[in-house]
Amino acid sequence: MSREARFNIFVSALTQLRIDEHNRVLTSDSRLLRRIVRDRRYRSFPASDTIARWPSVRRGEERNIFPFQELSDAVFNSTLVYETAVLRPFAWRYLLEVPRQHASRVRAYEMLKFLELFVPVFPDGVPANSVVREFIGGSGFTY
């Protein structure tokens, strides 16, 4: 198919939440939370492994994903304003499982402190067609 016949969409989680006038929620932190929850729920990877692997994931994105966003015709932001609050109950449990002596413990602690800023929202009210369902389960879509 020729380039002219395609419409390329770049899908990314671009967080726009601000904690206060001087601090915002980092997109990479939101994405790491998504990955911690997904990896633990669907791949049985502990949060410590996901955190340890994160620098490699980020390097791969810089090399193999982000350069191509400029070639897209449109960008779709998949982040939802309530996402962190919904991920919180899941991520909280998984981050508490990181062993005290593990190299990922410091980052896990930072993520727990970050999550303290959010009131947990339980998944009961999350629509079945929400992107968040891809991480917490209960999606209305069939694959």
pLDDT digits (tens, 9 = 90+) for 76-98: 989 898 999 999 999 999 999 99
Distance of alpha carbon 12 from alpha carbon 8, whole angstroms: 13
Q: Is 143 part of a structural domain of the chain? A: no
Q: What is the CA radius of gyration of the chain?
A: 16
Residue 124 in contact with residue 73, Cβ under 8 Å? Answer: no
pTM listed for this prediction: 0.88
Residue 142 lies in a domain: no
Q: Total domain count for the chain?
A: 1
41: in domain: yes
CA 42 vs CA 3, 37, 74: distances in Å: 36, 8, 30
Q: Is residue 141 part of a domain?
A: no
- Around Cβ 77, how many Cβ atoms within 10 Å? 13
Asked if residue 86 lies in contact with residue 123, where contact means CB atoms within 8 angstroms, the answer is: yes
Per DSSP, what are the bridge partners of residue 36? none
pLDDT in tens, 3-21: 778 898 988 888 877 888 8
- Domain extent at residue 75: 3-136
